[in-house]
Amino acid sequence: MAAFRLRIKHASQVVLICKNGERVLAGKSMKSVATLEATSSDGLSVVADDAGLVHAVGTDTAIDTMLPNCNYTQEIDASGMCVLPGLVDAHTHPVWAGDRVHEFAMKLAGATYMDIHSKGGGIGYTVKCTCQASEEELYSSLRSRLDSMLKNGTTLVEAKSGYGLDKENEVKMLRVIERARREHAIGISSTFCGAHSIPSGSTMEQATKDVIDVQIPHISKLMLSGDLTVDSIDVFCEKGVFDLDCTRQILVAGKAINLPANFHGDELHPMNAAELSAEMGARAISHLEEVSDNGIAAIATAGVVAVLLPTTAYVLRLKRPPARKMIDEGVAVALGSDFNPNAFCMSMPMVMNLACVNLHLTMPEALVAATLNAAAALGKSDKFGSIENGKVADLIIINAPKWEHLIYQFGCHDQLIKYIIKSGCIVHHNVTV
Ligand code: NIG
Ligand code: FE
């Protein structure tokens, strides 16, 4: 008798996202998501195999016919419910010690992000606290943050270092991320962000040299020995942090050890960072509140994924990134929570709501941006981001008949999300829903 890991049956709706193996949906192709709808006489099923991959999706009757007399390790009756792919969070800074609640008060009173940063607060404050923290402390707070992200529907998350700023502390952060990759149910894509800020007492030139000559070679050694998995490299390209030339040098050095560029740019000042991302063939660029028209055209042509972070513009009261213009001009837009001590949000459903209300995305665009396109920003859309045969069975089941409830509802998603499934295994079952 054939055996499978999981069968979900009787669902009202299955949101596939796409059905022709698309690896990214750019511009106007973001405007709709592929779905399957139940009829009054037939529900919908999803089957995951023992390798945790999607084996079949279709009506209950079609699956019964295709797979007669099968044995399923777990079965879920999803009557009246909707199945979606797990959400992908394309940008987070989840490893840190020391909150910044005191700075939130300062910002509400009118201080800007850079006012605080240039006085040693902001990232500088978090670097001090994180360098003092033990690996065990950092892991324990990371684990509970990942638990929250997972319960909010995120099954794959990008996680950056960047609060160490020297070889020892950056590697400490990457080791903490590596441990979570092994021990936590959530999927992780890790990013080396040693160029997140200029260490206190250093200059941009010295910091650039340290990242290129000391940190990158050390990380490369640890990657080659199998001690660390690192998926991409990031730089905070910003006035008063790393300028365009230093950013380029660091990203080139990263590319030389096979780390694709996935960096912060054009956030607080126009830097021509989007143009640089296109020139370098970066995989993704984040923020883009201050992107130029030329930058938009360049990333559309080069196929660089634009990772937009609605929480940052919201919490810092920034100009919003021109998301509509980007989509209209053919850019592939993705979303991230930007979870960090400045933007304390671990919920991709809330991020999608903010993207719709504040950045003027439609609900289908927001969902594409938080699934397939976010996976593309991480170079993982061949395996994640949609429900298609052969892809990893990362799924969420909400207790609502239509997927739009996930975005419509602003918060309290613990009253909506019933199951989280990672690689075909139930990793969270909310019995109260
Ligand atoms: O993406 N802008 C740079 N990095 C983060 C903020 C990090 C922090 O303030 O600690 C961001 O918003
Ligand atoms: Fe960030």
CA of 338 to the centre of ligand 2 (A): 5
Beginning with the edge strand found earlier in the chain, give each strand of the sheet holding 187-195 in spatial order.
Answer: 87-89, 154-160, 187-195, 232-237, 262-265, 284-287, 305-308, 333-335
Which residues, by Cβ under 5 Å, contact ligand 2, an ion?
338
Structure-block tokens of residue 289: 């509140």
Q: What is the mean pLDDT of each run of 10 residues along the chain (433 residues)?
A: 94 97 98 97 98 98 95 97 98 98 96 95 98 98 98 98 98 98 98 98 98 98 97 98 98 98 98 98 98 98 98 96 98 98 98 98 98 99 98 98 96 95 98 93
The alpha carbon of 342 and the centre of ligand 1 are apart by a number of angstroms equal to 7
The residue to which tokens 């502390």 are assigned = 169
Handedness of CA 320, 326, 327, 332 (dihedral sign): negative
In the chain, what are the domains?
3-23+31-85+386-429 (2.30.40.10), 87-377 (3.20.20.140)
Q: How far apart are CA 385 and CA 398, in angstroms?
A: 17
Q: Which of 89, 91, 158, 340 to mutate to test the pocket of ligand 1 (most atoms within 8 A of CB)?
A: 340
Angle at 242 between CA 122 and CA 358, to 5 degrees: 60
Q: Is the pTM of this model over 0.75?
A: yes
Ligand 1 atom showing the smallest separation from residue 238 Cα: 2
Residue ID of nearest Cα to ligand 1 atom 10: 123
pLDDT in tens, 114-135: 999 999 999 999 999 999 999 9
The confidence score (pLDDT) of residue 1 equals 79
Q: Say how many C-beta atoms besides its own lie within 10 A of residue 45's C-beta.
A: 27
> For residue 423, how far is its CA from the centre of ligand 1 (angstroms)?
31
Beta strands across the sheet bearing 425-429: 34-37, 13-17, 82-85, 395-398, 417-422, 425-429
**Neighbouring C-beta atoms of residue 3, cutoff 10 Å:** 10
Q: Which residues touch 221 (CB under 8 Å, ≥6 apart)?
A: none
CA of 91 to the centre of ligand 2 (A): 6
CA atoms within 13 A on the CB side of 357: 13
Torsion of CA 49, 55, 56, 62, to 10 degrees: -60
pLDDT value, residue 2: 87
Alpha-carbon distance 103 to 22, whole Å?
A: 43
Pairwise CA distance, residues 279 & 53, whole Å:
36
- Locate the ligand 1 atom nearest the alpha carbon of residue 126 and give its number: 10
| C-alpha dihedral, 67 to 72 to 74 to 76, nearest 10° | 30
From 84, 99, 31, select the one nearest 54 (Cα to Cα): 84
Query: In 3-state terms, what secondary structure has residue 359?
Result: helix
Q: Residues with Cβ within 6 A of ligand 1?
A: 93, 122-123, 126, 236, 264, 267, 312, 338, 340-343
Alpha helices in 152-302 (DSSP H): 167-183, 204-210, 216-224, 244-256, 273-280, 293-302
CA of 37 to the centre of ligand 1 (A): 41
CA atoms of 181 and 162, how far apart (whole Å): 18
Q: What is the mean pLDDT of the chain?
A: 97
CA gap 235, 251 in Å, rounded: 8
- Residue 38, classed as helix, strand or coil, is coil
